Amino acid sequence: MVATPESEISEVCLPFYSCDCCITYQRVMKDPVSQVPRTVSPVPMEILDDPPVEDIIANVVAHGIKIRDFASMEEVSKSSLKPVPEIFDPFLAVAEFEYRLDDKGFSRWPIPGKALRRLLIIGWVSQAEVAQRCAPMDIDALKMYDMKMAVDIQEGLGVYPWRSLKWAAVPTEQGRQRLVMKYMQHFATMDRARRHLEALERKEKLSQVQAEEEERLVREILRRQGFNFQGEGTGKDGGVTGGLGQPDIR
């Protein structure tokens, strides 16, 4: 928008200076230098994409650097070095335990199986309490974690080492509620992020289904008009395989 000279500002809006032309005029008069167009940089600019992971690994190895991925249990089992133990925060874990159980919503998330298993190991939660208070989804999450650990042990990977933070006393019921209040904002923020990611995944899946349906309709319309597509085949279920390709109108 071009600034309007003061002589051309409407007399009606002068007392208030609220219309677009008046606001622009005030901004220009306040900082006229910012309104001067910048010259185009003579330096050629090119935005480069990140190189493929394979190229990065090859470049690192070419410089004599040995890659060790301690996040991979396979690499840990082959290495003579002892991996750094994972630090487990029982205060955060027991706070999430109570936070999830207090959430009576239909769509709440289960208590993480790893956190629940470790609370059981250190004695902050008992098997009787789990059986009495936890929902089936929490039990299923615990079973899935135990099954994963059993598979890792059978395959010779073992269990990644961990150790818990020290504590003077196991929190009481009142102490657990105080921990919930302390970490409540953290859990709420994480839940919002998870819901956002799930919404994005649902949107992506829906877009993919719609794109496939639109492609199917386009192919059907063109087929009815007498178009044949190169590289087209018929699948076992009677569907058409291959992309749209180039139409062959022979």
Same domain, 21 and 114: no
Q: Is 80 exceeded by the pLDDT of residue 213?
A: yes
Phi and psi, residue 228, nearest 5°: -115, 145
| Residue-number span of the structural domain to which 99 is assigned | 73-204
Q: Are 191 and 109 in contact (CB under 8 A)?
A: yes
Each residue of 54-97: pLDDT tens digit? 888 888 889 999 877 666 667 666 777 777 889 999 999 999 99
Same domain, 88 and 193: yes
Same domain, 80 and 131: yes
Same domain, 89 and 168: yes
Same domain, 90 and 200: yes
Same domain, 79 and 193: yes
Each residue of 147-181: pLDDT tens digit? 999 998 898 878 888 999 999 999 999 999 999 99
What pLDDT shows up at residue 4? 46
Same domain, 111 and 18: no
Give the number of C-alpha atoms closer than 13 A to the C-alpha of residue 244, restricted to the C-beta side: 12
The answer to the question of residue 148 being in a domain is yes
The answer to the question of residue 140 being in a domain is yes
Same domain, 114 and 10: no
The answer to the question of residue 178 being in a domain is yes
The answer to the question of residue 238 being in a domain is no
The answer to the question of residue 146 being in a domain is yes
* Percentages (nearest 5) of helix, strand, coil residues in the chain: 55, 5, 40
- DSSP notation for 29-74: HH-GGGGSPPPPPSS---PPPPPPHHHHHHHHHHTTPPP--TTSHH
User: Residue 120, SS3?
Assistant: helix
Q: Is 60 exceeded by the pLDDT of residue 238?
A: no
Beta-strand relationship, 233-234 and 240-241: antiparallel
Q: How confident is the model at residue 24 (pLDDT cuts 50, 70, 90)?
A: low
Q: How many domains does the chain have?
A: 2
Q: Are 20 and 3 in contact (CB under 8 A)?
A: no
Same domain, 193 and 83: yes
The answer to the question of residue 246 being in a domain is no
Same domain, 20 and 123: no
Q: CA 17 to CA 32: how far, in whole Å?
A: 18
Same domain, 92 and 153: yes
The answer to the question of residue 214 being in a domain is no
Q: Who has greater pLDDT, 48 or 64?
A: 64
Going by the DSSP 8-state scheme, the letter that residue 112 receives in this structure is P
Nearest to 171 by CA among 89, 86, 114: 89
Same domain, 14 and 97: no
The answer to the question of residue 25 being in a domain is yes
Average pLDDT over residues 130-159: 92
